[in-house]
Amino acid sequence: MKPASDPEETWEKMYTLYGPVLYNYGSKLTTQLDWVEDCIQDLFTELWEKKDRLEDIRYGKAYLIKSFRRKLVHKIQTDQQQKAHYHSSELQFHITFSFESSWIEREKQKEQESQLQKALSLLSHRQREAIFLKFYENHSYDEVADIMKIEKSAVYTLIYKAMTQLREVVKKTLIPSQIVLTIFMMFSAIPFSG
């Protein structure tokens, strides 16, 4: 049977599409970007060796992220053990919000944005990784559980608590778009005359 498409082309497509995704994800787990590249290279070398089977649904994005994470975490932990950094053996995950530039009351805006950044930084590394995989990388709860090697219910709890904490800050600082909402709900109906 003839394969649906050229295996090298399939591999190339995966590399172009997911290489940058893995790089972006890896850069949140460590600042050692050469490790990130090493792990992408390892993973795609494995895929190159079995490139005839890449059409298999098993090799989707969740699989790639999971395999890549395992490699990178191994590298990070090996390094930590060598340096005997036992106190920092917890896995790190660093993200910030990228706000779209907003005009209104710039000074107040800055304040609100920094409050939200602070709230994000107060979440645990696992919470941040979970919301990143869920909302930014668009994985299902099952996939996030599989990638992070924890129970689905644990993923749910991490995300629920993280979002509740962020919601409190949003409520407190009342971002301008919510003022819109309030005004919007207040506006009154004028009955038709005609």
Which residues of the chain form contacts with another protein (CB under 8 A)? 15, 19-20, 23-24, 27-28, 34-35, 37-38, 40-41, 44-45, 48-49, 95-104, 116, 131-132, 134-136, 138, 140-141, 156, 159-160, 163-164, 166-167, 170, 175-181, 183-185, 187-190, 192-194
Q: Would you say 34 or 86 has its CB closer to another protein? A: 34
**Which of 144, 148, 132, 125 has the alpha carbon at shortest distance from 97?**
132
Q: Cα(59)–Cα(15) distance, rounded to whole angstroms?
A: 12
- DSSP 8-state secondary structure symbol assigned to residue 189: P
Q: What is the smallest separation between the CB atom of 187 and another protein, expressed in angstroms?
A: 4
Q: Which is nearer to another protein, 12 or 56 (CB)?
A: 12
Measured CA to CA, the distance from residue 155 to residue 131 in angstroms comes to 9
Residue 87 or 98 having the CB closest to another protein:
98
Least Cβ distance, residue 87 to another protein (angstroms): 26
Instruction: Determine the Cα–Cα distance for residues 127 and 97; give it in Å rounded to an integer.
Output: 14
User: Least distance (Å) from another protein to the CB of residue 133?
Assistant: 11
Q: How far is the CB of 56 from another protein (least distance, A)?
A: 19
Half-sphere exposure of 32 (CA within 13 A, CB side): 11
